[in-house]
Amino acid sequence: MRPVLLTALLPLALAACAPSANEPADPVAAAPVEANDPAAASAQGRAEVESSAFDSVIAGDWRTPEFTERDRYRHPAETLAFFGLQPDHTVVEITPGGGWYAEILAPYVRERGQYVAAVVDPEALPEDRRGYYSRSLATLQELFNGKPGQFDRAEVVRYDPAAPRFGEAGSADMVVTFRNVHNWLGAGQAEGMFEGFFDVLKPGGVLGVVDHRAADGMAEYDDSGYVGQDRMIALAEAAGFRFDASSEVNANPLDTKDHANGVWTLPPTNRHDEADAARYAEIGESDRMTLRFVKPE
């Protein structure tokens, strides 16, 4: 499948909007380092230096204000530092949705690397199933066309969910996907997707996954939006990946994972009675696993 290079049409700059000082404290603030533990202090110092590399793009005035308001839940700098993203990487983002991470990834690799958005090809689906994917693609293209300073070098690859292919074999340094695996499990597509990730990555390439984390011991997907961490690791290993590391940067211990409408009860979807708004706002967004896998050399 040949990538389609998106060309810019009209510039659009949007002012960034930072959380206000009276917002609730982040429930997953980093744990303090013991003064007598130099190894831990050194590791935390390295992590802070690595995550600071993303500060300029995260502070970019092109970012959508509604997106920046969620930084405190999604921790983009820490997440991408954990995955090991570098400015010269070819990074493939799977189903980027409205472009939340695209607004960070594409500018970060624009000069020396390549950003690729992999989206479902509406033409690969039956006609009665194309509507959502056509609208999603149009929204993404509008974002890219409206912000040429960030997306003029971005590429889009359309893939068939029944036989996913995300570019030339061995062409990517990194594949990332955020809160998508539960959808593929529900549709019976997860195994094929992970095989596609493995194929497009170079030997030594990294797969970074963030998704809603189920309670311990959950082996099968139950349509709640939550996925067992062991299930996720098994999926990746079955495709040939080596599980490399996990991070708690996107953990939320306030999430009880027993909500009537599953993960969609919580922000940002907020599928609940208005009377419960304060309760779920206090919980915040879901507890999420953050996993790094490597394609063996």
Q: What are 29-46's pLDDT values in tens digits? A: 333 333 344 444 444 444
CA-based nearest residue to 91, from 27, 158, 154: 154
Which comes out higher in pLDDT, residue 216 or 176?
176
Q: Is the pTM of this model over 0.85?
A: no
Give residue 217's pLDDT band: very low, low, confident or very high (50, 70, 90).
low
Q: What is the pLDDT of residue 9?
A: 33
If you search the block for the tokens 């290079």, which residue do you land on? 5
Beta bridge partners of 157: 118
Percent of the chain surpassing pLDDT 70: 82
- Give the start-to-end residue ranges of the domains of the chain: 4-8+36-294
The rounded distance, in Å, linking the Cα atoms of 14 and 119 is 24
Tokens describing residue 128: 């009665």
Encode pLDDT of 229-242 as tens digits: 999 999 999 999 99
Q: pLDDT for 158-168, tens place per residue?
A: 999 999 999 99
240 CB contacts (<8 Å, ≥6 apart)? Answer: 195, 198, 295, 296
Residue range 8-27: mean pLDDT, rounded: 34
Work out the number of other CB atoms within 10 angstroms of the CB of residue 182: 22
Cis peptide leading into 32, omega within 30 of 0? no
Q: Residue 154 pLDDT more than 90?
A: yes
Percent of the chain with pLDDT over 90: 79
| Burial annotation 12-48 (CB, 10 A radius, 16+ → b, else e) | eebebeeeeeeeeeebbeeeeeeeeeeeeeeeeeebe
Determine whether domain 4-8+36-294 maps to CATH 3.40.50.720: no
Predicted local confidence at residue 220, as pLDDT = 72
Closest alpha carbon to 27 in 288, 212, 215: 288
How many CA atoms within 13 Å lie on the side-chain side of 214? 19
The predicted-structure confidence for 96-152, as pLDDT tens digits, reads as follows 999 999 999 999 999 999 999 999 999 999 999 999 999 999 999 999 999 999 999
The CA distances from residue 251 to 14, 107, 189, in Å, are 29, 27, 26
**Is the separation of the CB atoms in 172 and 250 below 8 Å?**
no
Task: Indicate the pLDDT class of residue 52, thresholds 50, 70 and 90.
Answer: confident
Give me the chain's average pLDDT, please.
86
The pLDDT of residue 250 is above 70: yes
First to last CA, the chain: 25
